[in-house]
Structures are given as C-alpha cells and as structure tokens.
Amino acid sequence: MFEKQQLIDIAQTPMPFGKYAGRVLIDLPEEYLLWFAKEGFPTGKLGQLMALTLEIKIEGLEGLIAPLK
C-alpha cells in the first residue's frame, strides 16, 4: 500500500512554502491538506506526498509515521 521511502519522506520533508512552511508534511493540519485536495495539489513529488499524507490522516494511520520522525 505505502512504500517505505514515501513514509520516510512524509515524516521528514518540510513544507517548502505557505502558511506552514518548515513544518514536516505529517504535521500539516488535515484542513490544510483538504484545501489542497479541493484546489489542486502541487505538481510532482511534493503533491504526491501531500496527497498520501492526507490519505494517512483520513484513515487515522499517523502512527505509521511517528517512529520515522
């Protein structure tokens, strides 16, 4: 379902811009990710990781990421 490297990236990649710049992806508020889902995620790897982060949050699977931080 999830690739190990993607989970590591979600735990360690900081948001590069916006209101939550510098905060790692898994720590972004769900509402912020939902806004991007509605308006469009950024292109490329960042957008893919953000979309996956949202799925993890919706499914309540943040516990998968905690050990990787």
Q: Give 3-51 pLDDT, tens digit per residue.
A: 889 999 999 999 999 999 999 999 999 999 999 999 999 999 999 999 9
For residue range 48-67, what is the model confidence (pLDDT) as tens digits?
A: 999 999 999 999 999 889 88
Tell me the C-alpha to C-alpha distance, in Å, between residue 25 and each of 1, 7, 49, 50. Answer: 19, 10, 8, 7
Distance CA 16, CA 12 (A): 12
Total-model pTM: 0.93
3-class secondary structure, 66: helix
